[in-house]
Amino acid sequence: MPKMKSRRGANKRFKVTANGKIKHRRNYKSHILTKKNSKRKRNLRKYRYIHEVDAERVKDLILE
């Protein structure tokens, strides 16, 4: 049986931390930034952790 391939799009978007949590970049940071204030853009720079329920599905996609 061949090896399972991970979903390449998910592999690029999600990272697994040492504790096993999954983090990803926030949305709304690519364009139309002029109407967003500095505080909002600064908070969008931070990474966000996936909820445990969704983390199981993401781990299946990235074969972790």
Residue-range domains of the chain with CATH: 8-62 (4.10.410.60)
Is residue 1 very low, low, confident or very high in pLDDT (cuts 50, 70, 90)?
confident
Q: How far is CA 9 from the centre of its chain?
A: 11
- Candidates 25, 22, 29; CA nearest to 62 is 22
Residue with tokens 């061949």: 2
Biggest CA pair distance of the chain: 53
Strands in 48-49's sheet, in edge-to-edge order, are: 14-16, 22-24, 48-49
Assess whether pLDDT exceeds 80 at residue 64: no
* Token pair in block for residue 25: 């970049």
**What confidence tens digit (pLDDT) does each residue in 28-43 have?**
999 999 999 999 999 9
Using a cut of 0.85, tell me whether the model's pTM lies above it.
no
